[in-house]
Amino acid sequence: MSLDWQKAPDQTLINGCLQGEEQAWAALIERYSRLIYSIPIRFGFPQTIADEIFQETCLILLEGLHTLQNHDRLSSWLMTVSRRSCIRRIRQKPAVEMEDEWETAVPANDPPLETNLIQLEQEHRIYQALATMPPPCQALLTALFLTEPAPSYEEIATQFDIPIGSIGPYRARCLKKLRLALVQLEQ
């Protein structure tokens, strides 16, 4: 039986990467790509610069993975590496050139970057925990909380072939499983 790298915990992926498993590396990058990309985008960099920062972060990960002491903090480490790459970019470019290069700026009324980074890390943990859950719960929670626009209870009842009155208790059981999965990820 072969290992399903997509569902493997970070520790297993890291060990696989350190042993030269290409599938482990691909799964690790796929798992964290959204998180890594979100930081330069949040800084207001255009997609081309965000791509470069993503590549830099992945290269630093490849070169430094063996030095990572606390594997449970991989997401925080990646956010720090990406954030530092963004800051280096800002310091290296003259302000006028930056204005011409950037397609969008961070609006002044946005919350502080650190707040957004914490929120992104929390969202990432939720996605990780959701990926470990049984498919019916994954599907229900995705439909209820991650689908835009949110479907009505009638649509969910039809999609899952369950009575409308069962959605609430089913949701509660799935949320309890999600909380347990989140606790397991923290250990």
Share of the chain above pLDDT 90, in %: 14
Give the pLDDT band of residue 54 (cuts 50, 70, 90).
very high
Is residue 116 exposed (0-12), middle (13-18) or buried (19+ Cβ within 10 Å)? middle
Question: What is the mean predicted confidence (pLDDT) over 43-57?
Answer: 90
Instruction: Set out the domains of the chain in order of their start, with CATH numbers.
Output: 1-111 (1.10.1740.10), 132-187 (1.10.10)
Taking a C-beta distance cutoff of 8 angstroms, is the pair 137, 107 a contact? Answer: no
Asked whether residue 42 carries a pLDDT value surpassing 80, the answer given is yes
Is 50 or 186 the better-scoring residue by pLDDT? 50
One-letter amino acid of 76: S
62-85 pLDDT, tens digit per residue, is 888 888 887 778 888 888 889 888
Tokens of 161: 């072939």
88-137 pLDDT, tens digit per residue, is 888 776 544 444 444 444 555 555 666 666 677 777 778 788 888 888 88
CB atoms within 10 A of CB 81: 20
- Mean pLDDT estimate for the chain: 81
Asked whether residue 147 carries a pLDDT value surpassing 80, the answer given is no
Instruction: Enumerate residues 6+ apart whose C-beta is below 8 A from 27.
Output: 5, 6, 8, 13
**pLDDT value at position 112?**
60
What b/e string do you get for 32-60 counting C-beta neighbours within 10 Å, with b at 16 or more? beebbbbbbbbbbbeeebbeebbebbbeb
Asked whether residue 152 carries a pLDDT value surpassing 50, the answer given is yes
What residue spans of the chain are helical by DSSP H?
Answer: 10-18, 22-43, 47-64, 74-92, 95-101, 113-131, 135-141, 153-160, 164-186
Taking a C-beta distance cutoff of 8 angstroms, is the pair 144, 152 a contact? Answer: no
Asked whether residue 7 carries a pLDDT value surpassing 70, the answer given is yes
The model carries a pTM of: 0.52
